Amino acid sequence: MTDQPQAKKLSTRTLSRLPQYLHYLDALRAAGIAYVTSAKLAKALGCSDALTRKDVAALGHSGRAGLGYSVDALRYTIARILGVTSGRRVLLVGAGNLGTALMSYEGFGDRGMHITAVADSDPAKIGTTINGYTILDIHDIGTDHDMELAIVAVPGDVAQEVADILVEAGITGILNFAPRRLQVPDHVKVQTVDLSAELQILAFHRDGASG
């Protein structure tokens, strides 16, 4: 379960860095490394040593002189905040090209996220099996489920309708891949992934580096 009280004390920017910390700490643990310094954490994330120390202090950890932070202890705290220790069941909406690719993405499981159901509105897809998932009718998604999170991988012109259905079904967190901003109640959190914007940012940095 997510450590909600502690998570609420963290800034949005600190929370956004936690998955990167977790990824690096997983690599350290796999390599048998027991302690890590703030300098090495900072280098791995591409940020300042001071910022890393501030993040870790906000998580309630202090380092040991000459050693740094316990990899296992710090990883456990971050994993608990992100919900990795308990696992989260996720609904995927959209069984098109992007949705099909997401069904096979192993990174979700590595972070305690599990796609447990896939829904679509296309009659040609509903009832078929794709990558081991039987495609459900999005309009049949009610409140009798144990999923709090959903991934929206549908065209922009139907994304808001899908979001409305998800809100009615009790979904409180949406990862949105659709190219449009979703309007949802305040209690529902939306994280939008704009692939074109990310490419533009990448191109900007590349041009700047080569200029």
Residue ranges for the binding site for NAD(+)? 94-99
Q: Tell me if 49 sits within 8 A of 42, measured CB to CB.
A: yes
Q: Establish how many alpha carbons lie within 13 A of residue 172's alpha carbon, considering only the half-sphere containing its beta carbon.
A: 7
For residues 132 and 116, give the distance between their C-alpha atoms in angstroms, rounded to a whole number.
11
Largest CA distance in the chain: 62
For residue 150, which of 128, 123, 122, 118 has the smallest C-alpha distance? 118
Residue ranges for the binding site? 94-99
Q: Establish how many alpha carbons lie within 13 A of residue 78's alpha carbon, considering only the half-sphere containing its beta carbon.
A: 25
b/e 46-82 (16+ beta carbons within 10 angstroms → b): ebeeebbbebbeebeeebeeeebbbbeebbebbbbbb
As given in the structure block, the two tokens for residue 62 are 């202090």
For residues 15 and 147, give the distance between their C-alpha atoms in angstroms, rounded to a whole number.
22
For residues 71 and 28, give the distance between their C-alpha atoms in angstroms, rounded to a whole number.
7
Torsion angle (degrees, nearest 10) of CA 156, 157, 163, 166 = -110
